[in-house]
Amino acid sequence: MKHLLNTADLSLDEAILLLDTTAQMAATQSREIKKLPTLRGRTVVNLFFEDSTRTRISFETAAKRLSADVINFSAKGSSVSKGESLKDTALTLDAMGADAVIIRHQASGAPHILAHSGWLDVPVINAGDGTHQHPTQALLDAFTLRRHLGGELVSAGELPSLNNGLGGDLRGRKVAIVGDVLHSRVARSNVYLLHTLGAVVTLVAPPTLVPVGAETWPCEISYNLDEVLRDWQPDAVMMLRIQRERMGSAGGGFFPSPLEYTRKYGLDEKRLGLLQDHAIVLHPGPMNRGLEISARAADSHRSVIVEQVSNGVAVRMAALYLLLAGETHSNDTPAKAGF
């Protein structure tokens, strides 16, 4: 694995390796001293052409926990705002000796171009490109699902116990992904990764928020949330943020009104009651409380949303380790390498 660009490119073995390595990284973060020496002397560049807070900070934290030097590059206030091309930016980073580049870009496909252009010969990690892909978000979602749903179910009324060991199995687990699929790189990334891991996915959205061609994805599509929750009985429900910045005011014609959207597609207390006892609720964040998810649903005992954020650091540590230190420790697991 040279780059991490698209979950559709990951084989089952690669996906399992990333998740198993994440579990080992997560174990190191419960120690008093969380920092590891693995990437000492390496330079990781956060190349963000789009605004981001949690993803950028998560990648920065992950790199620093592995002892890498981190350069945060924002398009605003840089030469990019003066018209510098992606190629010239890449050549500059190469000349500065970057060992890995994490890129978020508003244009779908920009990370792929950067990785395969020949402008620089280092691992590239896609931190989100347009409405296309966000692989590390899908990996942290899968890791969270794996911890809760990868083992035996417990008694009614409780969540499954955390499965901190390796090998949690998602085969046959049912995941409903609900909301603004049209603008969501998170939905696309999750559909392909969860399918690879053996889970069954149903997308739920109004017809106006389902992208053209979604019927070719490895998932089912429904327009009725209550029906999916009541009859299909998912093991997990992932609510997607309504991306109003991509729609214009009041939904931009994608739905009649915020109130109408919430009435038909919002996760509230009544819909929580339709879920199986063990089912969990996820959200990639940031949340629009009161629109796609109610405050009670977001803060309920079923919610693993805060856990997703903490798991993001471990996932990104795993990705950086495998891409940058994988050759050095080609015959070692992270545990054998001194973690």
Query: Can you give the pLDDT at residue 18?
Result: 97
CA 89 to chain centre: 26
Locate all alpha helices (DSSP H) within the chain, ordered by sequence: 12-28, 54-65, 86-95, 110-116, 135-149, 185-196, 225-227, 258-265, 269-272, 295-298, 305-324
Provide block-wise average pLDDT over 10 residues at a time, the chain (339 residues). Answer: 96 96 93 94 94 90 97 69 74 93 94 94 96 97 95 42 53 97 96 97 96 96 98 98 68 80 96 97 94 96 96 97 74 48
Measured between alpha carbons, how far is 63 from 115 in angstroms, rounded to an integer? 19
- Sheet containing strand 280-282, strands side by side: 220-222, 200-204, 174-178, 236-239, 280-282
Rg (CA), the chain: 20
CB-based contacts of 272: which residues, under 8 Å, 6+ apart?
A: 281, 296, 297, 300, 302
Residue whose C-alpha is closest to residue 280's, from 138, 162, 133? 162
Task: Map residue 168 onto helix, strand or coil.
Answer: coil
Burial of residue 189 (CB within 10 Å: 0-12, 13-18, 19+) is buried
Is 12 within 8 Å of 196 (Cβ atoms)?
yes
Q: Which two tokens stand for residue 106?
A: 């508003």
- CATH 3.40.50.1370 region(s) of the chain? 7-132+309-324, 135-308
Pairing state of beta strands 124-129 and 220-222? unpaired
Residue whose C-alpha is closest to residue 174's, from 144, 154, 194? 194
- Sheet containing strand 124-129, strands side by side: 69-74, 43-48, 100-105, 124-129
Residue with the two structure tokens 């911890």: 147
Query: Can you give the pLDDT at residue 154?
Result: 37
Residue whose C-alpha is closest to residue 275's, from 301, 242, 299, 241? 301
What Å distances lie between residue 112 and 2, 116, 120, CA to CA?
12, 6, 12
Measured between alpha carbons, how far is 92 from 79 in angstroms, rounded to an integer? 11
Query: Can you give the pLDDT at residue 247?
Result: 61
Give backbone dihedrals phi and psi of 35, rounded to 5 degrees, phi first: -80, 140
Measured between alpha carbons, how far is 273 from 270 in angstroms, rounded to an integer? 5
Query: Can you give the pLDDT at residue 322?
Result: 97
CATH class label, 7-132+309-324: alpha beta
Query: Can you give the pLDDT at residue 230?
Result: 97
Give backbone dihedrals phi and psi of 168, rounded to 5 degrees, phi first: -55, 135
Residue with the two structure tokens 């490895």: 218
CATH class label, 135-308: alpha beta
Strand extents, DSSP E, 90-206: 100-105, 124-129, 174-178, 200-204
